[in-house]
Amino acid sequence: MDEGDWGALEKAWAAKFKPVPRQTPLPVLIAEADKAVADVIASLTKEYVGVVGTTASHSANSNPLGAFNDAASSASALSSSLARQSAPETGTHGAEEDASQTSMIDRSGDDGVADWPKLYGSLCLIQAPMVRCSRPAFRQVCRRWGTRISYTHMLIAESFVKSSHARHAEFALYDGEDRLVVQLAAKSGPVAAQAAGIVRPFCDAVDLNCGCPQRWAMKEGIGAALLEKPELVADMVRAIRNATPEGNGDTPALPCVVKIRVQEDLRRSVDFARQCEAAGAAWVTVHGRTPHCHPSAAVQFDAVRHIRESLSIPVVLNGGVTDVSSALEAALRTGCGGIMSANGLLDNPAAFYRAPSAAAMEQEVTFGASCVRWEEPTEREQERCTSMTENASSPFTPIRPVSFIWAPRHAVLSGGVAPPPPPSPTVFRYTVPAMWEAVITPREVISDFVRCAIRTDLAVPTTVQHVLRMARVYVSPAERNHLALLRSNLSVLSCLQEIGVYVKEGHIGCE
């Protein structure tokens, strides 16, 4: 849609925002992260073969890759038991009982081939689109506490194009926002192209939602219902690309990306992704669960990896990533440098925060003009943490080791010769030192969200629900009931300050 065709309301809506200064294209960021992960996987595979392959023995009739495939599946079984352990010597016995046939080699104390903090810093951590939650305040807090790319919540393209009220109510930015992907739900190429043209000056990419499993969305023919219509999705990608081409001067083409879910027949998922690639998609985001499985079901990392290996464009992983250790493990198991998280960030927007320097590992972290002080929990907070974490003695420890389990899907020696498999499936356990891992959401993060929400999302009904979700440990049942009876978000935020949840420290000041 050309700006000259807009009415007065549309011009007023567009005047609220400043065009986004685009710097590094988002596909380049994700491709660089993919390369960093691929380099580490190659080094770890070589190390794995050197440690495990040289001591193995096998018969002539054995499958040369079977044990390595078993090791990859065993890593999934072990990861849930070990990912939360804070020290190499703790928790190993119980995990081995869960996978009694799997041997584990602890590489935590060795001088490994990987620079774990550097690898983690190379990942492109992405905040997922979430209905009613991916508002400006939440996006800003996630960006300041560790994510590199933000998504809006799903915008219904048809309503967005036709209704000025929908544009005013559903789309907003915070001052200086960049690296933003606008997610559209559409079932028509012309409508999708028109909506993309409206948001083009204010975002870095447009995403087509082909993975929402909610019943109302599938009934409307959007979301996961589009997985049955790959040709239509490819047409929408082409329509958006044609409507937002590279312009004169500093106006690059607007990347179009697609977010899908794994299907029961993996071949259909690969074919769908290939059609999107052929139509011009910049990357494909794959949620590793099917549309009909439970939200807490196991993520099919092998399926995501297979889709990634079938494409020449980047693939972003979504699903099952809630903290530092799960992000590292997911990246190594799939080869994806782009890692997207939803529920992990909803509970704690600082779930992926990494201390920027050695000085930040102290109790006081200086960040620009703001200062973060990690306070000791009160006795009441300690009691409430007991039911939430195995390490209740120090739930606010800002820096502690994180562990994860890894084994290559398959490994080959020089010359393409497969190494002999180990006597039993073997996995390596790595511990990454000096990384951030907050068991519960620090008050500084909640306070940052409150300050952002007052500016941009104070009137949004879900703002208080989101605050209470992050502050669930600090608020007693009686206090929660009292807050639920208040009639304004401002009253709720005032009560949080009285309770002691709101503090002045944080990364985002009170300008």
Residues with catalytic function:
212
Write the DSSP symbol of residue 475. S
**C-alpha–C-alpha distance, residues 94 and 346, integer Å:** 30
Query: H-helix or E-strand containing 139?
Result: helix 136-144
Query: H-helix or E-strand containing 340?
Result: strand 338-341
Write the DSSP symbol of residue 149. B
Q: Give Cβ neighbours of residue 189 (< 8 Å, ≥ 6 apart).
A: 232, 235, 236, 238, 239, 240
**C-alpha–C-alpha distance, residues 14 and 236, integer Å:** 24
Length, in residues, of the chain: 511
> Which residues are paired to 151 by β-bridges?
181
- Helical H segments across 244-357, by residue range: 266-279, 301-310, 324-334, 343-347
**C-alpha–C-alpha distance, residues 128 and 419, integer Å:** 40
Contact by Cβ (8 Å): 299, 331: no
Half-sphere exposure of 200 (CA within 13 A, CB side): 24
**C-alpha–C-alpha distance, residues 170 and 462, integer Å:** 13
Q: Which residues of 88-126 are buried (b: 16+ CB within 10 A; e: fewer)?
A: beebbeebbeebeebbbeebbeeebebebeebbebbbbb
Angle at 104 between CA 411 and CA 336, to 5 degrees: 50
At residue 370, φ and ψ (nearest 5 deg) are -100, 165
**C-alpha–C-alpha distance, residues 336 and 1, integer Å:** 35
What tokens were used for 372?
């973060």
Candidates 104, 106, 33, 80; CA nearest to 325 is 80
CA distances from 120 to 49, 150, 230, 357, 409 (A): 23, 18, 34, 14, 21
What tokens were used for 225?
């219902």
**C-alpha–C-alpha distance, residues 339 and 35, integer Å:** 14
> Which residues are paired to 259 by β-bridges?
209, 285
